[in-house]
Structure 1
Amino acid sequence: MREISLDRLRTLVVIADLGSFAQAARVLNLAPPTVSLHIADLEARIGAPLLTRKRGQVHPTTIGQTLLERARRLLADAEQALDEVQRQVQGLSGRVRLGASTGAIAHLLPQALDILGVRHPGIDVQVQVLTSRESVGRLQDGTLDLGLVALPQAAVKGVQIQPWRRDPIMAFIPLSWAPPSRITPAWLASRALILNDSTTQLSRVTSEWFATAGLQPDARIQLNYNDAIKSLVAAGYGATLLPHEARAPEPDSRLCMRPLRPGLWRHLGIASRQGQIEQSSAYVLQVLLELAAQDSH
């Protein structure tokens, strides 16, 4: 069964509005025979007359009037759909699916969302809590647009990753422990520890830091929620190693933050699909890069 062309429906609407085939041809910039062919095609498809001529004026039949009502709605819906798509192409609206770890969501991402809300209020950022490996996988299968991922990451076909920011990893320790000004692997390994679980890049980085001193300490508990870890540290349950982002809130007064010796860093990147990205995603990427540049100064 042949579908009805929107062009044919538009021709029918214009003829009905103007009451003339000839005037409709001029408005639509079509040859008069083409306008007549459009109506003939519609009438053949419907199986009934749609227009009648009386005293030089063209009027819709009863069936034609029914089709006109639907045609106006269809044409309006088509125009609205094109407008919405065009706004998304221009980055004025749209949805951006972004994956990030709980650490990035806690302090880094809200800053970007505040700026985006002012600059591009029509962009809806849908945040998903994912590990770096999950974000890369979702980008590869097309169910994610951007991902904030820990570096390094193995190369994956169809996904590109650019460095985003570098944050120092610090020791967070209960204040009652009276820690030294700089924390070494040997000092920390002899205490109760709260660490990220072994599936995370942060766990691998901190394990390597302990390994430089020939140590492999066991964690008292493993968590992936940095704020929950800090709460446990403040309660005296143990010490931890976590990244400290610029402009992050001051830690609980019951714990203290100390630099490490040797120093340690958490590297993050922004992952996206290779090739040209949609404008709305490009705006989100721009804000994230701007924030990283500000924090590096």
Structure 2
Amino acid sequence: MREINLDRLRTLVAIADHGSFAEAARVLHLAPPTISLHIADLEERIGAALLSRKRGQIWPTTIGETLIERARRLLADAEQALEDVQRQVQGLAGRVRLGASTGAIAHLLPQALEVLGQDHPGIDVQVEVLTSQDTLARLSEGTLDVGLVALPQTPVARLVVQPWRRDPVMAFLPSGWRSPAQVTPEWLAAQPLILNDAGTRLSHLTQEWFAGGGQRPAPRIQLNYNDAIKSLVAAGYGATLLPHEQGAPLPDPRVQMLPLRPALWRQLGIAHRAENIERPTQHVLDVLWRFSLD
């Protein structure tokens, strides 16, 4: 069964609006025979007359009125679809799928999304909490557009991963603890610990830091939610190692934040596909780069 052509529906609506084949031809910039051909084609497709003609007047039949009503909605939907797609092509609107760890989502990403909302309110960023490895895999599959990942990472074909931020890792301790001015692996390993899940990049970093001091501590608990970890520290349950981004709020008064000796840094990168970057995605990348830090 042949589908109804939108151009033919547009012709029918124009005749109904202007009451004349000739006027419809003028408005649509079509030759009069083309207008007649469109209506004949529609009537053959429907199997019934759509227009009545008498003494130079033209008006829709009952069946024609039903089709015209539906045609108006179809044409409006088609125009809206084209407008929506054009806005996305121009970067004025669209959806961007972003993957990031809980660490990046806690402080950095909300700031970037606030700026994006001011500059490009039509762009909808859909955020998923993922490990760096999952983020890179999803980027390769094409089910993500942007990723915030821990560095370093093994190169992945057709993906670009660039350094974004380098933030210090600090010791977070209950404020009531007596502690040194700088926290060493030897001192911290003797304390009850709350550390990140073993599968995270931050966990690998902290293990290497402890190993540099000849330590292999066993944490009381491992989590992957930094805010929950800080809450446990505030409750006196233990100490932890977490990044502290420039400009981030100071911890709860029940928590003291101290530098490490030797210093430790958490590096993040921005990952995206190497080709065919749509404008909404580029706008998101541009905003994220405003928050870069060496």
TMscore range, shorter length: over 0.9
Q: 1:110 — aligned with what?
A: 110
Q: 1: CA distance between counterparts of 2:237 and 2:49?
A: 84
- TM-superposed deviation, 1:210: 1.6
- TM-superposed deviation, 1:227: 1.5
Residues 41-52 of structure 1 mapped to structure 2, 5 A cutoff = 41-52=41-52
The one-letter amino acid paired with 2:233 is V
Q: 1: CA distance between counterparts of 2:102 and 2:279?
A: 26
Residues 50-89 of structure 1 mapped to structure 2, 5 A cutoff = 50-89=50-89
Q: Does 1:290 align with 2:290?
A: yes
Q: 2:187 — aligned with what?
A: 187
Question: Matched residue of 2:290: which SS?
Answer: helix
Question: Matched residue of 2:36: which SS?
Answer: helix
Q: Does 1:36 align with 2:36?
A: yes
Q: 2: CA distance between counterparts of 1:253 and 1:292?
A: 28
* Percent sequence identity over aligned pairs: 71
Residues 164-179 of structure 1 mapped to structure 2, 5 A cutoff = 164-179=164-179
The one-letter amino acid paired with 1:157 is A
The one-letter amino acid paired with 1:247 is G
- TM-superposed deviation, 1:17: 1.5
Question: Matched residue of 2:291: which SS?
Answer: helix
How many residues matched?
A: 294
- TM-superposed deviation, 1:215: 2.2
Question: Matched residue of 1:292: which SS?
Answer: coil
The one-letter amino acid paired with 1:34 is T
The one-letter amino acid paired with 2:241 is L
- TM-superposed deviation, 1:57: 2.5
More displaced stretch, 241-250 vs 122-131: 122-131
Q: 1:243 — aligned with what?
A: 243
Q: Does 1:254 align with 2:251?
A: no
Q: 2: CA distance between counterparts of 1:233 and 1:127?
A: 27
- TM-superposed deviation, 1:290: 0.7
The one-letter amino acid paired with 1:51 is L
The one-letter amino acid paired with 2:164 is W
Q: 1: CA distance between counterparts of 2:253 and 2:32?
A: 83
The one-letter amino acid paired with 1:129 is V
Q: 2:10 — aligned with what?
A: 10
Q: 1:144 — aligned with what?
A: 144
More displaced stretch, 1-10 vs 159-168: 159-168
Q: 1: CA distance between counterparts of 2:153 and 2:55?
A: 77
TM-superposition CA deviations, 1:119-163 (whole Å, max 9, x none):
222222222221112222222222222221111222233432222
Question: Matched residue of 1:291: which SS?
Answer: coil
TM-superposition CA deviations, 1:175-228 (whole Å, max 9, x none):
333222222222222222211111000001111112222322211211111111
Q: Does 1:26 align with 2:8?
A: no
- TM-superposed deviation, 1:242: 0.6
Q: CA RMSD in A?
A: 1.7
- TM-superposed deviation, 1:72: 0.9
TM-superposition CA deviations, 1:48-71 (whole Å, max 9, x none):
222232212322222212211111
Q: 2:212 — aligned with what?
A: 212
The one-letter amino acid paired with 1:241 is L
Q: 1:123 — aligned with what?
A: 123
Q: 2: CA distance between counterparts of 1:78 and 1:278?
A: 22
Ranges in structure 1 where 5+ consecutive residues have no aligned partner: none
Ranges in structure 2 where 5+ consecutive residues have no aligned partner: none
TM-superposition CA deviations, 1:273-295 (whole Å, max 9, x none):
231222222222211111225xx
* TM-score, structure 2 normalization: 0.94
Q: 1: CA distance between counterparts of 2:184 and 2:285?
A: 37
